[in-house]
Amino acid sequence: MAKGEEVSGLSPDLEAAESETDSEPGKRNPEEALAASLRAFVERVPGARGATVADRNGLTIASTFPSASDVGLGSAMATVIARASHSVLDSVGGDRFLWVVLEGAMNKIVVCDVSEGLGSLILVLGPEGDLDAAKRELIRTAMEITTILDLDVA
């Protein structure tokens, strides 16, 4: 989203995150609102290490991880995994894609769509991470992000 684009349709709890203008200091722009939403998401999920939003091509839009280089490859791969999951579900009967979970010895990675596939929300949990809380908060945060980015979910 280009700086200066108008943000509309924010939920009441995100109204303070509307676009920043010179006449309204203290209001956050969409980038700040997105970062705040991701930080809150990570804080709501016990054991979460970080979260990322990627576009449909796997390019990072926003992240809570300190190193962009580590996030880029993970975002791209998670987006490919989400696409593959869509294909599998479509081929076995058109079931609606909710999320996909990758579990390794040291991390769990949970991915869901943002705005019906226009992007992906990726959460990385440590081995002690609460997967049930992650699933609950994943959909909620994906809807917030759709609203912040003012994406049309028609």
Task: Give the side-chain half-sphere CA count within 13 A for 113.
Answer: 14
Provide the residue ranges of all domains of the chain, joining segments of one domain with +: 14-148
Longest dimension (CA), the chain: 54
If 0-12 CB within 10 Å is exposed, 13-18 middle and 19+ buried, where does residue 75 land?
A: buried
Confidence of residue 70 (pLDDT cuts 50, 70, 90): low
Query: Which of 33-37, 108-112, 116-120, 123-127 bottoms out in mean pLDDT, i.e. has the lowest?
Result: 116-120
Per-residue pLDDT, 23: 37
Q: What is the DSSP string of 79-114?
A: HHHHHHHHHHHHHTT-PPP--EEEE-SS-EEEEEEE
Q: What is the mean pLDDT of residues 105-112?
A: 90
pLDDT in tens, 114-151: 887 788 899 999 999 999 999 999 989 999 998 888 75
CA distance 108 to 116: 23
Q: What is the pTM of this model?
A: 0.74
Cβ-Cβ contacts under 8 Å for 105 (sequence gap 6 or more): 127
Under 8 Å between Cβ of 119 and 54: yes
**Per-residue pLDDT at 15:** 38
Q: Hey, what CATH topology would domain 14-148 get?
A: Beta-Lactamase (3.30.450)
pLDDT > 80? residue 48: yes
